[in-house]
Chain A
């Protein structure tokens, strides 16, 4: 098991570094002087020269890369050009919100998918099945930021069940936090939930046709044991494999969702940093999202190896 974890760990390194390298190259290779871009039109030549020196832009690209890599590994990301605080201190304040939101959305999506997908497969070709399948087709095509606006209209404006926007930290009460994060999580989870439901249904149909299910039934096991313990567990394996990919999509989705619901998360920080040309924060945000994703993928891989022992020995 340890060897397996070690191997997975090596494989996630590209996940962390490829986006960062792209950001590194973008800043250095994009047309125009990055220092001039950061400082804006009113900057004097001295200011630009000083910033160029501070950012190390006068070195050759190879040297810059080595210095940059060393800074990344030692988490020395510099100071925000806007907040003036070190980037390493700013990022964690925002990351918690995003991780909480994405986790709730992911759990919600998996729950809906496992239940709806299994149900759909068990009642194959019934009206319920057809409507679930149709809903998934619609769900895959709905833009989450638009769905979020519709949710706001229905649940916040018309029914007044939940707040329109705003964030309550978990420290102020778990229920208050839950209500502030319910609509964003639902909006964020809808597409992935639809994709996973489709997958769960198709894999459940496969499993239900397996001889071991017939055997279990022939032995007189109650149906809920056959389905719950034997069929659903096996059928959920393909769904677990895509959770990592789904988490990636969701972290991307948080950008628009956090803006709509005014949540102080990483996505919003990133967009604001881009607008302010606060490049150290942009780099830090990309790094944070890579790290979150890598950690999540590692956790998923381990869970995966636990529920499906065949994986470990490959």
Chain B
């Protein structure tokens, strides 16, 4: 029977020590998973759209053109124009660049730090005590509030957003990595490696890290979506990337004054944001199903 005193929290329970024989490479199994394929396609459209924004929609997204204010979506302006006569299609595509880039950088930084600290915490019990109390404190506290306070001290800019989000998003990943390491370090292969005198550093890189890489990958896609969402929320309240840049969250800041007059200004940046988050969440679920069938969620 499942232990119902814990929430279904994949990766934290140390009950799966079976060896799963992998026959096909991961990418082949991912290709066989429709959810994964659809979400990767969605992400590719968003990434390519923003990378080639100049070619697809044209350059200079912030140019003001008062003669075409509040135009509803049409063939010429697929997403309409805003209160300053800016083409929303351009804004959404160019805004994606910042949103996705900030998300990617935050994911890389926070996952790297979380992996290193998670390995240490899982392996050395003394580090664990201290680190996990800290993580408990960070986890329960709303990340946005902390990031808001940080922006106050450091001033709104892309750098601040990346720094503050990287710090606050370390905690959840650190917990996942540590939980996995706690399971893996008890495996016989680690004991054997230690017995024959394999240096600790090598045990980390050759034995533990590969064993915990799947949950790290799954977690990374969730962190990516959390980072994009948090950047958008921060930029929306005016404490994010600053007004010289555009991102999806930023594009929504002013639009909220025109909800009744021009709902399309609100619609499209939000839809792009939601699509990115949705695709990343689904990709995370699919990765979990593929990489770790034992943890797959109930259908």
Contact = CB atoms under 8 A, between A and B. Distances in A.
A182 to B, nearest CB: 17
Contacts of B4: 203, 206, 234, 237-238
Interface in B108-135: 133-134
A42 interface: no
Interface residues of B, number: 51
Interface in A8-57: 11, 14-19, 22-23, 26-27, 30, 34, 37
A256 interface: yes
A199 B7 contact: yes
B9 to A, nearest CB: 9
B189 interface: no
Q: Looking at chain A's contact residues, is the secondary structure mostly helix, strand, loop, or mixed?
A: helix
Contact of B153 (A30, A245, A267): A30
B273 A143 contact: yes
Nearest to B256: A149
Contacts of B5: 237, 308, 310-311, 314
Nearest to A201: B298
Contacts of B237: 255-256, 259, 271
Contact of B136 (A15, A249, A289): A15
Contacts of B100: none
Identify which of A27, A242, A256 gathers the most chain B CB atoms within 10 Å of its CB.
A256
B146 interface: yes
A19 B151 contact: no
B233 interface: yes
A126 to B, nearest CB: 14
A213 interface: no
A143 B274 CA distance: 7
Nearest to A237: B4
B259 A22 contact: no
Contact of A150 (B2, B154, B270, B298): B270
A146 B282 contact: no
Contacts, number: 167
A286 B137 contact: no
Contact of A242 (B7, B144, B255, B281): B7
Given A153-B259, A241-B6, A137 B282 contact: yes
Identify which of B8, B233, B237, B238 gathers the most chain A CB atoms within 10 Å of its CB.
B237
Interface stretch (A59-67, A104-112, A274-282): A274-282
Given A153-B260, A241-B6, A241-B7, A289 B298 contact: no
B252 A244 contact: no
Contacts of A138: 274, 278
Interface string B145-169: 1101111111000000000000000
A3 B123 CA distance: 31
Contacts of A250: 142
Interface string A270-314: 110111010100100110011001000100000000001011001
A79 interface: no
Contacts of A202: 8, 297-298
A206 B298 CA distance: 10
A252 interface: yes
A248 B256 contact: no
B266 interface: yes
A226 interface: no
B270 A252 contact: no
Given A14-B137, A202-B297, A251-B142, A271 B239 contact: yes
A205 interface: yes
B149 A23 contact: yes
B236 interface: yes
A138 to B, nearest CB: 7
Interface string B227-264: 00100110011110000000001001001100110010
Interface string A229-264: 000001001100110110011111101100110000
A152 interface: yes
Given A14-B133, A202-B297, A256 B236 contact: yes
B140 interface: yes
Contacts of B8: 199, 202-203, 238
B129 to A, nearest CB: 11
A141 interface: yes
Contacts of B225: 141
B211 interface: no
State the 5 A-B residue pairs at the shortest beta-carbon distance, nearest first: A18-B137, A252-B142, A274-B152, A146-B270, A14-B137
7 contacts: A11-B136, A143-B270, A202-B8, A253-B142, A285-B149, A286-B145, A293-B141
Interface of B: 2, 4-8, 133-134, 136-146, 148-154, 225, 229, 232-233, 236-239, 249, 252, 255-256, 259-260, 263, 266, 270, 273-274, 277-278, 281-282, 297-298
Given A149-B259, A271-B148, 4 more contacts: A14-B134, A141-B281, A146-B270, A274-B151
